[in-house]
A and B are shown apart, each in its own frame.
Chain A
Amino acid sequence: MEQAFFFYFAIVIAAAAVFVVAVRNPIYSALSLLIMFFHVAGLYVTLHAEFLAAVQIIVYAGAILVLYLFVVMLLNLRRDDRYHRQWPMAAAVGVTLVLEAIVLTAMKGWTAPVVATGTETTVGGAGNAEAIGDVLYSTYLFPFEVASVILLVAMIGAIILAKKDVGGDAPQL
Chain B
Amino acid sequence: MTEISLRLAVSFAQILAEMSIVMVTVATMTYFERKILGWMQDRMGPMEVGPYGLLQPVADGIKLFFKEDIIPAGANRAMFKLAPVLTMVIAMIGFAVIPFGPDVSMTMFGMTIKPFVVADINIGVLYILAIASIGAYGIILGGWASNSKYSLLGGLRSAAQVISYELNVGLAIVGVLLLAGTLSLVQITEAQAGGFWHWFIWGGRPDGFFPIHTQIFAFVVFVISAVAETNRIPFDLPEAESELVAGFFTEYSGMRFAFYVTAEYANMLLVSCVAASLFLGGWNAPYPGTILEYIGLEQLAWIEHIAWFTVKVYFFLFLFIWLRATLPRLRYDQLMRFGWKVMLPIALGNIVITALTLYFFPR
Contact = CB atoms under 8 A, between A and B. Distances in A.
A57 interface: yes
Interface in B254-282: none
A57 B127 CA distance: 9
B162 A54 contact: no
B162 A66 contact: yes
B122 A61 contact: no
B79 A27 contact: yes
B186 to A, nearest CB: 11
B130 A63 contact: no
A70 B152 CA distance: 10
A31 B182 CA distance: 33
Interface string A58-101: 10011100110110011000000000000000000000000000
A129 B140 contact: no
A54 B126 contact: yes
A73 B149 CA distance: 11
B123 A51 contact: yes
Interface stretch (B40-48, B131-139, B327-335, B340-348): B131-139
B146 to A, nearest CB: 12
A73 B144 contact: yes
The dominant DSSP class at the A interface is helix
B134 A61 contact: yes
B89 interface: no
Nearest to B121: A50
A contact residues, range: 20 to 34
Interface in A21-66: 27, 31, 34, 50-51, 53-55, 57-58, 61-63, 66
A163 to B, nearest CB: 15
A125 B127 contact: no
Contacts of A53: 123
A74 B134 contact: no
Nearest to B132: A62
Contacts of B133: 57-58, 61-63, 66
A146 interface: no
B166 interface: yes
Contacts of B160: 70
Interface string B142-163: 0010000000100110011011
B183 interface: yes
Given A66-B159, A73-B144, A73-B155, A54 B127 contact: yes
A73 B140 contact: yes
Contact of B126 (A31, A51, A61, A66): A51
Contact of A66 (B123, B127, B137, B144): B137
B155 A129 contact: no
23 contacts: A27-B79, A27-B141, A34-B137, A54-B126, A54-B130, A57-B130, A58-B170, A61-B130, A62-B132, A63-B166, A66-B136, A66-B140, A66-B163, A67-B159, A69-B144, A69-B159, A70-B140, A70-B159, A73-B140, A126-B122, A126-B182, A129-B123, A129-B183
The 3 lowest CB-CB distance pairs between A and B, nearest first, are A62-B133, A54-B126, A57-B130
Interface of B: 79, 121-123, 126-127, 129-130, 132-134, 136-137, 140-141, 144, 152, 155-156, 159-160, 162-163, 166, 170, 182-184
Given A27-B144, A61-B133, A62-B132, 19 more contacts: A31-B141, A34-B137, A50-B122, A53-B123, A54-B129, A54-B130, A57-B133, A58-B130, A62-B136, A63-B163, A66-B136, A66-B137, A66-B140, A67-B163, A69-B140, A69-B144, A73-B140, A125-B122, A126-B122
